[in-house]
Amino acid sequence: MPSLLIVDDEVGIRELLSEILGDEGYTIRLAENAAAARAARHAARPDLVLLDIWMPDADGISLLKEWSANGQLNMPVIMMSGHGTIDTAVEATRIGAIDYLEKPIGLQKLLAAVKRALTAQPDGNAKTAAAPTLDAFPRSVPLRDLRKQLEQICARSRHLLLRVGTGSLAELAARSLPGRRQGAWLDLSTISGPLDVDLLQKQHGGTVYVPELARLSKPQQKNLIFALDRLERYDLRLAAVTDQTPETLEAQGWDPAQLHRLFEISLPVPSVADVRDDIPELARQLLLHLVEAGEVPNRKLSTAALNILRTHPWPGGYGELRAAVRSLALGTLEEEIDHQDAHRLLEPQPAAHGLHLDQPLREAREAFERVYFDYHLRLENGNMTRLAEKTGLERTHLYRKLKQLGIPTGRRGEGA
């Protein structure tokens, strides 16, 4: 039977709801406040949460926002309150609650709401685990300011250009654009053929993302303009990223009128190094998302491991940090990832390691390329899309190069 988590600070209400729903055959867990609810949610995701709004340590709306920002709102939540208002109910629904019950809750109304919520999500998944957004870092001044800048721009424009340098946080910024459907995400760089309007319709209310303008092929450039012209129709936001100037892109064949349109509203994005003190929390949130998404086993990062992550330069930015966290979680056999795990993964790899410098140039170059691609393939966990972005190679050429070097790909993690 489905498992239900009942969160209410009143012991009488907890016991009453537990008795009623337990008699219906549901597995019940109880939490008396937000802290206990967090612990229960972290231990195991319930199939449904009944969440009181007014609690002593943190109100239910704040906890709902926290779960949404952390990517943990992937189960249906029914809000409960004896002092609620229409505005409160609307706010809870906007954040992601599936229903709202006023106390005292009638027996039939309770059972109907629980059945309706579980029927709407027969496997207990309200949605897949959403990637972290800037909302997950309320204590970071630079990340909080970046979120406010994005909100201010998006209040007046449906598209913006994220100007980046080495090690950027562009993807985290793009996933934080305000929209009606958090988690609806379309990466145009993964689409090689013509963009279909049905695909835009499926992402209605979400975000269209371009990780780097300079890497788009001519057909993908057309897809970008096609999407740009239809943002209003499908209630979409568009975030394009580049480290190039308009002049450089024009020299590469971009249409000047299109570039003027894209560069009309731009925002510089900080790098991972710019928020070094926030790297431990970034890593924790990325690990939490990977665990919630079922991509890695349940692991936690030790303080010593987090310190090593904090001091690493992260030239590859947010994507490199995420890949490292995934590799650490998959590679350790213990529940806790320790400093030795982090050190082994992040220790600089000498370019000439295992190479003989007295061999012919062609053979030395191939040996270096073999070390280089093997290293980044492992770092990206076999994901060819991210490997193509990291190395700056078109995917067909990348596959040909790896085959030439004798490096097996297995085509794991495609398109992720």
Q: Report the CATH number of the 352-416 domain.
A: 1.10.10.60
Residue 225 φ/ψ, nearest 5 degrees = -65, -35
Whether 174 and 152 have beta carbons less than 8 Å apart is answered as no
DSSP code of 278?
G
pTM check: above 0.75: no
361 or 109, greater pLDDT? 109
Task: Quote the mean pLDDT of the chain.
Answer: 88
Q: Is pLDDT at 226 greater than 70 in this prediction?
A: yes
Q: Tell me yes or no: is domain 3-120 CATH 3.40.1190.10.
A: no
Q: Where in the chain is the domain with CATH 1.10.8.60?
A: 278-347
Rounded-to-integer distance, Cα 174 and Cα 151, Å: 11
- Tens digit of each residue's pLDDT (9 = 90 or more) over 358-369: 678 888 888 888
CA distance 72 to 52: 17
Pick the more confident residue, 213 or 72: 213
User: How far is the CA of 127 from the CAs of 47, 96, 394, in angstroms?
Assistant: 12, 10, 33
136 exposed, middle or buried (CB, 10 Å; 0-12, 13-18, 19+)?
buried
**Strands annotated E in 94-190:** 99-102, 159-163, 185-187
Q: CATH 3.40.50.2300 region(s) of the chain?
A: 3-120
| Chain centre distance of CA 245 | 28
Closest by CA position to 389, among listed 213, 237, 131: 213
pLDDT tens profile 325-348: 999 999 999 999 999 899 889 875
In this prediction, residue 23 carries a pLDDT of: 93
The Cα 300–Cα 307 span in angstroms is 14
10 Å CB burial of residue 362 (0-12, 13-18, 19+) is exposed
Is it the case that residue 126 has pLDDT exceeding 60?
no
Q: Between residues 277 and 90, which one has the greater pLDDT? A: 277
d(CA 31, CA 344): 40
pLDDT tens for residues 298-318? 999 999 999 999 999 898 899
Q: What percent of the chain is predicted at pLDDT more than 70?
A: 92
Instruction: Answer yes or no: are the C-beta atoms of 129 and 292 closer than 8 Å.
Output: yes
Binned at pLDDT 50, 70 and 90, residue 49 comes out as: very high
How many Cβ atoms are within 10 Å of 51's Cβ, its own excluded?
A: 26
Give the pLDDT confidence of 91-101 residue by residue, as tens digits.
888 888 999 99
Looking at 3.90.320.10, 3.40.50.1100, 3.40.50.980, 3.40.50.300, the CATH number of the domain 134-268 comes to: 3.40.50.300
For the stretch 288-300, pLDDT in tens is 989 888 899 999 9
Decide if domain 278-347 falls under CATH 1.10.8.60: yes
